[in-house]
């Protein structure tokens, strides 16, 4: 039986060059980057090398990169770190209703600490309307957190416009760019943003490593207390092998970005056009924005069935897709993103996220569409 992995938005396979780099570091370097002896200095050089590479790719200064244990920690560090520093100026935070749980649950915690949070609605394509943001602003708004691109439907947000609004009011702006990294060109200094979250395992890097861009001059309160690592913004001995792997993954992503985009667009087209041929255009609905979207994520509903049945049947055929975010796919609860987009119930309850990557081929997509046809025929 074939085995086709179409869940790259949840996690990607580690690139062989990344694994090689990590193995080199893990087996050859065991000093602590904080130690002053030669072993420590070698470790420090490894961490700084990766930091330099990542900063160059993101168009920022190396010191503006804080290494973390992933996108979740980066989001939490940004929200709690900025909110507590700005508390004396106000207690209002604005985010959107389609953020990742790393932002939404952090905001719920901040509410318990006395902050007021506005969760902006989105239109039916999953986009935040800048006019809704303007309307939500108040004198005590201190922080806005809106994702670059959504992990369930791939819709890209009007980040520049939102950032300009934030800047004009001197409000901090955090962007969760976990899904955008490697898929869209990102230049932190050219964008009107103050903080941006990234994660290595979405770009063929290791799981459990991430970064937060923190604009020079912005002081955020640390979440972890201990040593002075990461310029006092994140205590703890650095995950040296993971960071080295992240650096390598970024290097690969930067040289393959254009090629990856074309590849993903070809796959997207192959999946949609084969579905059209096999089951007809009326038998499925594509969720999310059709132009302003990440090429590697396509969210499709098949209203004659339901998500769980289709996912299970695809799994039995060796095809791994998802119901939405990885956190909710275990329990298959309704997607908060699709609910916020106010999709009809039959669309909401039959959505599948296909997300592809470098290892997939157009044949994989045609095969998947054929299997969907077989499954739907069997079920109806």
- How many Å apart are CA 198 and CA 68, to the nearest integer? 9
Which residue's C-beta sits nearest to ligand PLP? 71
**Least distance in angstroms from the C-beta of 71 to ligand PLP:** 2
In angstroms, give the least distance from the CB of 236 to ligand PLP: 16
Q: Smallest distance from the beta carbon of 358 to ligand PLP, in angstroms?
A: 18
Q: How far is the CB of 45 from ligand PLP (least distance, A)?
A: 25
Token pair, residue 371, equals 């299997």
| One-character DSSP codes across 177-235 | -TTTTTTS---TTTTT-SEEEEEGGGTTS-TT-EEEEE-TT-----SS-SS-TGGGTS-
Tokens of 304: 């004659």
* Catalytic option among 60, 188, 293, 327: 327
The nearest distance, CB 161 to ligand PLP, in angstroms, is: 19
Q: Of 118 and 199, which has the nearer Cβ to ligand PLP?
A: 199
Q: How far is the CB of 365 from ligand PLP (least distance, A)?
A: 22
Alpha helices in the chain (DSSP H): 16-28, 38-58, 71-86, 101-112, 130-136, 159-168, 240-279, 307-316, 326-329, 336-340, 345-348, 362-379
Other C-beta atoms lying within 10 Å of the C-beta of residue 380:
9
Q: Are 339 and 348 within 8 A, CB to CB?
A: yes
Single out the residue of 80, 66, 10, 98 nearest to residue 246, CA to CA: 66
Q: Which is nearer to ligand PLP, 19 or 326 (CB)?
A: 326
Instruction: Indicate if 107 belongs to the active site.
Output: no
- For the bound state, the minimum distance from the C-beta of residue 109 to ligand PLP, rounded and expressed in Å, comes to 16
Q: Which lies closer to ligand PLP via its Cβ, residue 60 or residue 322?
A: 322
If the CB atoms of residues 31 and 71 are measured against ligand PLP, the closer one turns out to be 71
Q: CA geometry: angle at 300 spanning 299 and 306, to 5°?
A: 120
Closest CA to 57 of 207, 263, 238, 203: 203
How far, CA to CA in Å, does 318 sit from each of 3, 14, 138, 353? Answer: 5, 20, 51, 16
- Find residue 68's DSSP bridge partners: 210
Q: Which is nearer to ligand PLP, 43 or 180 (CB)?
A: 180
Residue closer to ligand PLP by CB (options 70, 182) is 70
Cβ nearer to ligand PLP, comparing 100 with 260: 100
The dihedral through the CA atoms of 299, 303, 305, 307 has a sign that is positive
Residues found near ligand PLP in the complex (CB under 6 A): 70-72, 75, 100, 102, 147, 151, 176, 178-179, 199, 201, 210, 325-326
Both structure tokens of 369: 């569409």
Q: Which two tokens stand for residue 281?
A: 């255009």
Q: Which residues are catalytic?
A: 327
């Amino acid at each position: 039986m074939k085995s086709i992995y179409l869940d790259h938005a949840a996690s990607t396979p580690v690139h062989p060059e990344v694994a090689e780099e990590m193995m080199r570091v893990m087996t050859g370097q065991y000093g602590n980057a904080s130690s002053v002896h030669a072993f420590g200095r070698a470790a420090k050089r490894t961490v700084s090398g990766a930091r330099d590479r990542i900063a160059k790719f993101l168009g920022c200064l190396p010191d503006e990169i804080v290494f973390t244990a992933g996108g979740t920690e980066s989001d939490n560090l940004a929200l709690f770190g900025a909110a507590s520093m700005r508390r004396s100026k106000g207690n209002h935070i604005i985010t959107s209703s389609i953020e990742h749980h790393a932002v939404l649950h952090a905001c719920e915690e901040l509410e318990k600490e006395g902050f007021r949070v506005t969760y902006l609605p989105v239109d039916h394509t999953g986009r935040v309307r800048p006019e809704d943001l303007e309307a939500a602003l108040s004198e005590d708004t201190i922080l806005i957190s809106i994702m670059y691109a959504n992990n369930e439907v791939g819709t890209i947000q009007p980040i520049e416009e939102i950032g300009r609004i934030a800047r004009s009011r001197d409000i901090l702006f955090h962007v969760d760019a976990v899904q955008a990294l490697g898929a869209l060109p990102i230049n932190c200094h050219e964008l009107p943003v103050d903080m941006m979250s990234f994660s290595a395992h979405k770009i063929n890097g290791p799981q459990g490593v991430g970064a937060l861009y923190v604009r020079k001059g912005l002081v955020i309160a640390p979440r972890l207390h201990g040593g002075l690592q990461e310029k006092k913004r994140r205590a703890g001995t650095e995950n040296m092998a993971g960071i080295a792997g992240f650096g390598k993954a970024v290097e690969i992503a930067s040289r393959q970005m254009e090629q990856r985009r074309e590849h993903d667009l070809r796959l997207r087209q192959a999946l949609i056009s084969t579905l059209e041929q096999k089951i007809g255009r009326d038998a499925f609905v594509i969720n999310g924005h059709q132009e302003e979207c990440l090429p590697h994520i396509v969210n499709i509903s098949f209203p004659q069935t339901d998500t769980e049945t289709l996912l299970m049947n695809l799994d039995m055929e060796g095809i791994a897709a998802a119901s939405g975010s990885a956190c909710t796919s275990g329990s298959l609860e309704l997607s908060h993103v699709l609910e916020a987009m106010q999709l009809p119930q039959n669309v909401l309850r039959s959505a599948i996220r296909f997300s592809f990557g470098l290892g997939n081929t157009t044949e994989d997509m045609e095969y998947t569409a054929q299997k969907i046809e077989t499954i739907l025929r069997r079920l109806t």
